[in-house]
Amino acid sequence: MNSRERVLAAMKREEPDRLPFEILFTPPLEEVVKTKTKSLGFEKFFGINSDVRHVWVLPTRKDVNLSSSRELPANLEELKSYPFPDLTAEYRYEGLIQKVRNFHQNDFCVSGWGGHTFEAAWGLTGMEKFMMDWYIKREAVEYILDRITTMNCFMAEKMVRAGVDILRTGDDVGMEDRMIMSPDMWREMLKPRLAKVIKRAKKIKPDILIWYHSDGKINPIIEDLIEIGVDILNPVQPECMDSVELKKRYGDRLSFWGCLGTQTTMPFGKPQDVKKTVKTLFNNIGKGGGFLLAPSHRLQPDVPWDNIVAFIEAIRECNY
C-alpha cells in the first residue's frame, strides 16, 4: 500500500499493511529538528514519511482592523454590517486543486480544512461573554453562528471539489474532566450547524471522510458525532479519555487519530516510555484498522529529541 491507500483503509476500519502515522512540530521545535537532521527534515533523515498532507485556505488580503471593543452590536442590523472574514473569496482557494493533485501524485492522503464554528464565534467577544450572550443576546449569537456555518459550508465544498480525501473540522469543546458546555447546549448550539457542513460535503462526495477535532473529555457527544456523519475522532487526548475503551465501544463505527499524549508521554516520558506507549496503542487500538497514530497535538519545544527518535523507532519496530 502507498500512504494514501494505507490511511484510507485504516480510517474505513479496514486492515492496512502497516500502522499509518503523522507527527507535527510547533515552529520552535521545527528549528530543533532542522538542526538535529542537518536541515534534511525528519522524514528524509529517518527515511520514513508521515502518511498525510494537509491543505488550507490561503491568508486574507484584507486589511484587518481589530477593534478594542468586544461588545456585540446593540441590534441585529448593526451586526449584519460587521466585516466577517472573506472566506468565500475565490482568491483564498487559488492553486488548491493543483496542490491536492500534486500530493496525490506522490501517493499521500490529503486532508482539507473545513473550519471551526464555536471557536470562530467566541473569538469575536471572548468565551465568557459569548456563553452569556447565548442566553441574553440569543438572536445575535444565532446570527453569528449561522454566518460562520455558511462560510464553513462554502469552504468544505471547495475542499471536497478540489479532491481532498478527508475533511477536517471541529471545535475545542472539552476540558480536562468535562465539557466546556453542557451536552444539551452543544446539541442545541453546534450539532445542527456541524451537521449542515457535513451534509454539504457528503452531498458532493458521499465517501468523503469527516474528521472531528476536540481536545479534552467529550465522551457525552461521541454518539451524536457518529449520528451526523463524523468518521474520525481526533486527538483522543489520553489525559482525558481512555482510547482503549473508546475503541471497544465505538470502534465498529468510528476511527481514531492521535492518542499519544503531548502533556505526558512525549514531553515527560523516557524513550522507553514512548516506545512502550506506542506499542500498547498499536496492539490495543491499531489491530483491525480504525487507527492513525499521532501525538495529540503539534509537539512543543519541551519534547526531548530522544523521544522523537523513540517515536520513529517504535513505529519501525511495530510495523516491520
Query: Domain segments of the chain: what residues?
Result: 3-56+86-319
Q: What pLDDT, on the 0 to 100 scale, is given for residue 68?
A: 44
Does the domain at residues 3-56+86-319 carry the CATH identifier 3.40.1800.10?
Answer: no
Q: What pLDDT, on the 0 to 100 scale, is given for residue 64?
A: 64
pLDDT digits (tens, 9 = 90+) for 43-79: 999 999 999 999 999 999 987 655 544 566 668 888 8
DSSP reduced 3-state for 244: helix
* Regions of the chain with pLDDT less than 50: 68-69
Q: What pLDDT, on the 0 to 100 scale, is given for residue 124?
A: 84
pLDDT digits (tens, 9 = 90+) for 93-138: 999 999 999 999 999 999 999 999 999 999 888 899 999 999 998 9
B/e letters for 1-12, b = 16+ CB within 10 Å, e = fewer, are: eebbebbbbbbe
CA 29 to chain centroid, in Å, comes to 20
Got the DSSP string for 93-126? GTTHHHHHHHHHHTT-EEEEE---SHHHHHTTT-
CA neighbor of 225 nearest in space, from 273, 272, 164, 179: 179
pTM to 2 decimal places: 0.94
Q: What pLDDT, on the 0 to 100 scale, is given for residue 72?
A: 63
What gap in Å lies between CA 146 and CA 68, rounded to an integer?
Answer: 24
Taking the CA of residue 135 as centre, how many other CA atoms within 13 Å lie in the half-sphere pointing to its CB? 6
Q: Are 250 and 226 in contact (CB under 8 A)?
A: yes
What gap in Å lies between CA 43 and CA 228, rounded to an integer?
Answer: 36
Burial of 91 (0-12, 13-18, 19+ CB in 10 A): exposed
Q: How many residues does the chain have?
A: 320
